Amino acid sequence: MSSDPGGTPPILDVRDVHKVYRTGTHALRGVSMRVRPGTVHGLIGANGAGKSTLIKILSGAQTVSDGEIAWRGEPAHWSSPSQALADGLAAVYQHMPLVPSLSVLDNVFLGHTGSVRWDRTRRTRELAELCDRVGYPLDGDDLVGDLSIGARQMVAILQALARGPALVLLDEPTAALSPSEREILFASVRRLRDTGTTFIYVSHFLDEVLDLTDHLTVLRDGLVVLDAPTASTDEAALITAIVGERLAAFEADAPSPARDLGEVVLAVDDLASGAAFGPLSFSVRAGEVVGIAGLLGSGRTELLQAIYGADRAVTGSVTVNGRDRPRGPQVAVRRGMALVPEDRARQGFLADWEIWRNISLPDLPRLSWRRMFPHTGRERAQARQAVEDLGIKTQTIDSKVGDLSGGNAQKVVFAKWLYGNASIFLLDEPTAGVDVGAKSDILHLIRRLAQRGAAVLIVTSEFEELIGSCDRILVLRRGALVADLVSAETDVHEVTAIASGFARHGDQISSRKAATS
């Protein structure tokens, strides 16, 4: 339950809110949170904690299943973001709803009644007043598409402030900002808070949360597990609240550091891609599983795409089985690379195709007669083998992949690569959105790939899975490689602390056991 220290009545009072989706998923399980006026209230939690669901409810994009929300002491019944905005609650999301081809002035007052073009003098004066409040000057005539990411973020905040909100919800506002841009944003938030504006600040970067907020609410598994003034919360308690003790078994079952590994099959040297990441250097050996840990905006997915050849604007070098970086995914596949993408529904399979056709797709030349004419019997035989090997739950291999559960669909994505020449696997969030049983099957499959000599590079937001599956863990923070950890010698607390900016590799960090003893 939320603490209630008394004093000023809350501007926003979330009372025992539940959210159950039609699929049966219980995303929120009685969440309570009080936000005081003129404060910055931090809302944090790991992926799947219920944070996104609560944000959608507070912004009016979704409704509660049970419980209630009080706004300025009165029950709130928002059924759309426009209703919440009309009542004085504005949201600024990471993916900013700006129009690059319009000017700053037009974007800030986008959607207002009346025409900006016919009242430009008044709007220009209002923009200048907003910029003065925020402490960030902008030229109203500049095109938004020509601005830096940080300046665009400030335009989005000005767009929200132009509605005169009493509370602004900032969802991951610094994920793509440079250090100098972050400092400007923080100074603006503090300045606005001191003049009466209230903020809910959502971020994965825990050092920022501790530095900026006045009060913290931590969600885990749809529950409030910590609700306290920021000043009374230390790093160890915060990390423990976020990660809990859920996967001690994964840590205990981590791969042995004494395993014999093969030669280097993937070497990355000074690889960089604009502002996304780099330069980065590391290698992966045959039979080795290397994890990439990082928070939103760390460059994890962009790194895998660059290695796979999907980003041709990178600098530096990638060596695959002794040959230079593939120029495109097709060349990568021929050289033995396999990518399991984060967005499996769009990039991993064809939903309207049968299981057998999806599984054989990357391997059609080998399964075809004279490498030209598809041999349906071979394709179907391979699919039946995959269903047995991976435990894919289906009545028939003729079922459409789009009709399978998330875990079984993900197994189909893996199956595509298991029977060809793939020796390097790039896995982007391979267990996201699957149930516990399928997650366990996939993690064991990853280990089997390594045991048969494949090199595996895996990205996941679930750090405990990295510890339980990987030999080493590379920690990325804002595109830079900040630590190279041996899985058997670290724990979730250390990885979280380094990725969040609490600590650097080698610092003395309170362990999970010490923090919870």
Domain assignment present for 312? yes
Number of domains in the chain: 3
Domain assignment present for 242? no
What is the span of the domain harbouring residue 213? 12-233
**Residue finishing a domain among 415, 439, 460:** 415
The CA R_g of the chain, rounded to the nearest whole Å, is 25
Domain assignment present for 43? yes
Domain assignment present for 364? yes
Pairing status of strand 289-293 against strand 277-285: unpaired
Residues 335 and 460 grouped into a single domain: yes
Instruction: Identify any residues that bridge with 400 across adjacent strands, giving them in sequence order.
Output: 354
Q: Which two tokens stand for residue 151?
A: 């300046």
Q: CA–CA separation, 155 vs 197, rounded Å?
A: 17
Domain assignment present for 404? yes
Residues 220 and 283 grouped into a single domain: no
Residues 133 and 114 grouped into a single domain: yes
Q: What is the pTM of this model?
A: 0.61
- DSSP label of 260: -
Q: Cβ–Cβ contacts within 10 Å for residue 388, how many?
A: 9
Q: Which two tokens stand for residue 154?
A: 């400030």
Given 3-state DSSP classes, what are the helix, strand and coil percentages for the chain, each rounded to the nearest 5?
40, 25, 40
Q: CA–CA separation, 243 vs 489, rounded Å?
A: 18
Q: CA–CA separation, 434 vs 164, rounded Å?
A: 41
Residues 89 and 135 grouped into a single domain: yes
Q: Which two tokens stand for residue 39?
A: 């404060």
User: What pLDDT sits at residue 86?
Assistant: 92
Walk along the chain (517 residues) and give the pLDDT tens digit of each residue.
Answer: 344 445 689 999 999 999 987 767 788 999 999 999 999 999 988 766 788 889 989 999 999 999 999 999 999 999 899 999 999 999 988 666 789 899 999 999 987 765 545 578 888 999 999 998 888 889 999 999 888 777 888 898 899 999 889 999 998 887 667 667 788 889 989 999 999 999 999 987 787 889 999 999 999 889 999 999 999 998 778 878 887 654 434 444 555 555 678 899 999 999 999 878 989 999 999 999 999 998 877 888 899 989 988 887 789 989 998 888 777 888 888 888 988 887 777 777 888 889 988 888 877 777 777 766 777 888 889 889 888 888 888 888 988 888 877 778 888 888 888 887 889 999 988 887 665 567 778 888 888 889 889 999 999 887 888 888 899 999 999 889 999 999 888 888 889 889 887 766 555 444 433 333 3
By CB atoms closer than 10 A (0-12, 13-18, 19+), residue 243 is buried
H-only helix segments in 72-111 = 81-87, 104-108
User: What pLDDT sits at residue 168?
Assistant: 94
**Residue finishing a domain among 415, 438, 462:** 415
**Residue finishing a domain among 376, 397, 415:** 415
Residues 359 and 325 grouped into a single domain: no
Domain assignment present for 239? no
Q: CA–CA separation, 92 vs 127, rounded Å?
A: 18
By CB atoms closer than 10 A (0-12, 13-18, 19+), residue 24 is exposed
- Name the one residue in this structure whose structure tokens are 């014999």: 260
